[in-house]
Amino acid sequence: MKKITRRQFHVGTGLSLMGLAGVASTEIATSAPRTPYQDKTLSRIVFGSCCDQDKPQPIWDKILERHPELFIFLGDNIYGDTRDMAVLKAKYAIQAKNYAPIKEVSEVIAIWDDHDFGENDAGKEYPFRDQSKELFFDFWDEPKNSPRRREGDGIYTSYLYGPEDKSVHIILPDLRYNRDNLKTVDSHEKAKERNFAGFGPYLPIADESLSMLGEAQWQWLEQQLQVPSKIKIIGSSLQFIATQPGWEAWSNFPHERQRLINLIKKYQVNGVFFISGDTHWSELSCQTDDVPYPMWDMTSSGLTETWDNVSPNIYRWNDLSYSGQNFGAIYIDWELNDPLIVFEVRDVKGNRVFQHAIKLSFLKGNWSD
């Protein structure tokens, strides 16, 4: 299957345009993106997260049956959980064999989460984040001269696919490298009590000086939101929309969650939706209050992992969730005057768990208000 040419955008004074098959890298200004190449239109995107290298992975056969044009790994792409870089490298080597089939037929892009970053629920306090970053880049074949290999900062990046009238801009923030410590409940017993209702041990952080992204990444993200595109997919390793009480999510940093919504409003950015991983269950979330238009987040997790005690979520669409092994898919029908976007989750046997469709025009604010 022919791979899609991609344009990859990085932090810095400009944006780096990098194509496959020997296309030279070109610098273009953030405020004035270069006219897109007439690439193959992206209409079938598959994604997943939470894949343990030591567990059976029959799900890949069913993923390949969907003929993905792009596969997005949303983190926990291995379960490293170590401070020994030799161990981490060895676990990547095991996973390389499992991922070989998808990399042969589809374009593949990736961001990390805590387990491939290095430790469970870790942030910037993890002492081997720079060494882990290099192993991540080497595993995902990031060129040695890639601007993404920036020093002293995270692995965030973005990609722009397709011609101008059918362009899909995929933004992958890094929620680990710069993240400040989480706020936890004050006792182990209280955490155990919360678990009965599906609540985790973490609480929202009121101190607005604390961050998940770091200021440099925020400046980059603000630039990315100004890049023209028909659709913007923000691929987050953690859930954005879900209230997710007590586990890792954007809701642990409510001021940063609101900051992103405010930026979408500020720059009148249409066509934005989120995909996310981490939870070990799948669900579709939609927020309609205090947002410029309905904000969707489709969660798919995990490729090998499951979870029985699904947490409450006031934004869960139609109260649908699935806690078995699963993968997510996005289909875009560009042939319609108002393109149709289909969100879908399938199980390890390839059966559809749930599906929901929206028109692209639904992702548009009333900016005259």
Please write down the HEC assignment for all residues of 136-171.
Answer: HHHHCCCCCCCCCCCCCCCCCEEEEECCHHHCEEEE
Instruction: Report the percent of the chain where pLDDT is more than 70.
Output: 89
User: Residues 263-274: what's their mean pLDDT?
Assistant: 98
Query: What is the longest distance spanned by two Cα atoms in the chain?
Result: 58
For residue 84, count other CB atoms closer than 10 A to its CB. Answer: 11
Per-residue pLDDT at 5: 54
Output the average pLDDT for the chain: 90
Per-residue pLDDT at 39: 74
Q: Where are the alpha helices (DSSP H) in the chain?
A: 59-65, 85-105, 114-117, 129-139, 188-195, 215-224, 254-266
Per-residue pLDDT at 32: 28
Give a yes or no: residue 342 inside a domain.
yes
pLDDT tens for 219-265 read: 999 999 999 999 999 999 999 999 878 999 999 999 999 999 999 99
User: CA 47, CA 162: separation in Å to the nearest integer?
Assistant: 18
With CA atoms as reference, report the closest residue to 237 among 318, 322, 181, 174.
174
Per-residue pLDDT at 76: 98
Give a yes or no: residue 55 inside a domain.
yes
pLDDT tens for 57-66 read: 999 999 999 9
In this predicted model, which residue has the larger pLDDT, 95 or 10? 95
Per-residue pLDDT at 174: 98
Per-residue pLDDT at 242: 96
pLDDT tens for 177-205 read: 999 999 999 888 888 889 888 999 999 99
In this predicted model, which residue has the larger pLDDT, 40 or 206? 206
Return the structure tokens found at 161. 């696919």
Residue 11 pLDDT exceeds 50:
no
What pTM, to 2 d.p., does this model score? 0.92
Amino acid symbol at 351: N
Enclosing domain of residue 252: 30-362
pLDDT tens for 84-103 read: 999 999 999 999 999 999 99
Go through 3-28 and write b for each residue having 16 or more CB atoms within 10 A of its CB, e for each that does not: bbbbbbbbbeebbbbbeeeeeeeeeb
Give a yes or no: residue 22 inside a domain.
no
Per-residue pLDDT at 369: 55
Give a yes or no: residue 337 inside a domain.
yes
Label residue 179 exposed, middle or buried (CB < 10 Å: 0-12, 13-18, 19+): buried
User: CA 362, CA 296: separation in Å to the nearest integer?
Assistant: 11
Upstream peptide bond of 302 is cis (omega within 30 degrees of 0):
yes
Give a yes or no: residue 17 inside a domain.
no
Please give the backbone phi and psi of residue 102, each rounded to the nearest 5 degrees, phi first. Answer: -70, -35
Per-residue pLDDT at 368: 75
Confidence of residue 6 (pLDDT cuts 50, 70, 90): low
Give a yes or no: residue 15 inside a domain.
no
Instruction: Report the percent of the chain where pLDDT is more than 90.
Output: 83
Residue 150 pLDDT exceeds 50:
yes
- Given a contact cutoff of 8 angstroms between Cβ atoms, the answer to whether 340 and 360 are in contact is yes
User: CA 129, CA 40: separation in Å to the nearest integer?
Assistant: 36
Residue 164 pLDDT exceeds 60:
yes
CATH number of the structural domain spanning residue 176: 3.60.21.70
CA distance readout (Å), 132 to 10, 73, 98: 20, 17, 20
Give a yes or no: residue 7 inside a domain.
no
User: Residues 164-172: what's their mean pLDDT?
Assistant: 96
Confidence of residue 289 (pLDDT cuts 50, 70, 90): very high
How many domains would you assign to the chain?
A: 1
Give a yes or no: residue 219 inside a domain.
yes
User: Residues 32-42: what's their mean pLDDT?
Assistant: 53
